[in-house]
């Protein structure tokens, strides 16, 4: 029966993931359910406060700049202080900054606090991703990252709808509700999540495994090439919220038409993320990232031929499928290319590629549309997607084997030297306070929250 098959699919999707993962997943969902400010910030500044659209754009850029700055800082904190303290500091600071943003009125103060909100909110991302890598078995990581991405999109879909109703009552209430829900996330982290950062024990003289610094990350040429490819793909995906509404507006479509087309993105992610992940979970990431880059580039490229809302929605379907495949695969790849004790810094560098794309994409798309027209923007997306696909195909050879649990190590002076198997790694480090991620907990899954 279909219902029996559905229940089996759900059980297989959530089974085997440790209890700590589900508390982290719940924290992510609660955080995104309360993400109101990003949705109505421009309306708040222009309609409620009476500022110009240019000023609203400046505030949005400063918010994005704060995210770029904190990506690396959050990664360093996750490795040095630990995942749990970093999450507590980031989420507590976010709650305070968002609440303050609802009360400040001076334009300079609003811009400064928006920058702080961007810094605080983005600082938690490397710690979340590193903690998931710490507590989830290597063969389950793509599934875990996919479930987390699904929670992000489900929460954002709900919060986007709720934001409109809340804004009609009080913008300040939206700020305070988001601050309160972010504070709840901090409490969940404090009460339910133990520290997961791998601890070191004494190593024999001359053994590899030295400290990982940002210099180590930058010197890792293959990884930095992957970060560059991630930046290119992120530039493409950003056009869904940057270039697409401008292009549709210039073509005579209304904001409601854009809302109808872009809503397809959220609906498809919520509906398809889990079943698609079950299909791609153990497939070659090189092929998945190559295909998803092509789908993203040519999905947006097809927008050049769209002449109705239905065709625009069809193009959204194409690049949304690319997004569904790319997000968990790319995050899992970052873990595979990261030394165990440098996961925070490596995740921070990866997060920065997306933050930088969010900062640059509005400027890039605006210049291209103004000078050459929207069709050129969609052509550039196709070219960039093709280049990224070629890059993934060349770089992703001889990856560490996720199924055998091989991890990368570093020399004492920095610099990645290769991989070793989990059995060798287990003698050198352990994850404190977390059950063995390789053991399937009885009753694992969503019910483990009880």
Closest CA to 439 of 137, 207, 60: 137
pLDDT averages per 10-residue partition of the chain, 450 residues? 60 77 88 73 78 78 85 87 90 92 91 90 87 86 84 79 76 89 88 80 41 83 92 92 82 81 84 82 86 95 91 93 91 86 88 87 82 90 95 78 47 45 41 44 36
The dihedral built from the CA positions of residue 123, 126, 128 and 134, taken in this order, carries a sign that is: negative
pLDDT at 8: 67
pTM of the model: 0.75
Taking each helix axis from N to C end, the angle separating 53-80 and 83-101, rounded to the nearest 10 degrees, works out to: 160
Do residues 414 and 213 make contact, with C-beta atoms less than 8 angstroms apart?
A: yes
pLDDT at 201: 42
pLDDT at 204: 37
pLDDT at 205: 37
pLDDT at 449: 34
Do residues 378 and 297 make contact, with C-beta atoms less than 8 angstroms apart?
A: no
Cα–Cα dist 298/318, whole Å: 8
Do residues 409 and 176 make contact, with C-beta atoms less than 8 angstroms apart?
A: no
| 383 token code pair | 């070219």
């Amino acid at each position: 029966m279909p219902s029996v098959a559905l229940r089996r699919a759900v059980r297989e999707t959530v089974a085997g993931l440790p209890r700590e993962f589900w508390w982290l997943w719940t924290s992510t969902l609660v955080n995104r359910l309360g993400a109101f400010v990003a949705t109505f910030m421009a309306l708040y500044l222009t309609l409620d406060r009476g500022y110009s659209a240019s000023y609203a754009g400046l505030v949005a850029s400063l918010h994005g700049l704060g995210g770029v700055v904190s990506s690396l800082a959050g990664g360093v904190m996750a490795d040095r202080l630990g995942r749990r303290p970093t999450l507590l500091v980031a989420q507590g600071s976010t709650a305070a900054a968002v609440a303050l943003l609802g009360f400040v009125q001076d334009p300079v103060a609003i811009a400064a606090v928006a920058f702080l909100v961007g810094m605080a909110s983005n600082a938690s991302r490397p710690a979340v991703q590193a903690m998931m890598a710490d507590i989830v078995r290597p063969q389950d990581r793509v599934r875990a990252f996919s479930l987390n991405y699904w929670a992000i999109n489900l929460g954002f879909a709900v919060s986007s709808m709720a934001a409109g109703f809340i804004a009609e009552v009080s913008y300040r209430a939206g700020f305070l509700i988001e601050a309160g829900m972010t504070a709840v996330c901090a409490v969940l982290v404090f009460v339910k999540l133990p520290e997961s950062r791998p601890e070191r024990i004494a190593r024999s003289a001359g053994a590899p495994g030295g400290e990982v610094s940002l210099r180590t990350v930058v010197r890792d040429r293959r990884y930095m090439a992957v970060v560059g490819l991630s930046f290119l793909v992120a530039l493409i995906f950003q056009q869904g919220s940057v270039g697409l509404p401008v292009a549709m507006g210039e073509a005579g479509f209304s904001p409601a038409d854009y809302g109808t087309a872009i809503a397809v993105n959220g609906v498809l992610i919520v509906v398809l993320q889990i079943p698609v992940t079950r299909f791609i979970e153990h497939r070659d990431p090189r092929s998945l990232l190559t295909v998803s880059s092509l789908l993203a580039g040519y999905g947006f490229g097809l927008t050049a031929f769209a002449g109705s809302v239905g065709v625009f929605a069809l193009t959204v379907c194409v690049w949304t499928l690319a997004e569904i495949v790319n997000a968990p695969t790319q995050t899992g790849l970052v873990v595979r290319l990261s030394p165990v004790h440098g996961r925070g810094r490596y995740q921070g560098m990866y997060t920065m590629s997306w933050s930088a794309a969010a900062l640059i994409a509005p400027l890039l798309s605006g210049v291209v549309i103004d000078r050459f027209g929207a069709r050129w923007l969609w052509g550039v997306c196709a070219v960039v997607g093709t280049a990224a696909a070629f890059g993934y195909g060349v770089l992703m050879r001889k990856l560490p084997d996720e199924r055998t649990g091989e991890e990368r190590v570093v020399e004492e002076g920095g610099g990645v030297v290769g991989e070793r198997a989990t059995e060798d790694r287990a003698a050198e480090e352990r994850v404190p306070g977390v059950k063995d991620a390789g053991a399937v907990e009885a009753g694992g899954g969503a019910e483990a929250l009880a």
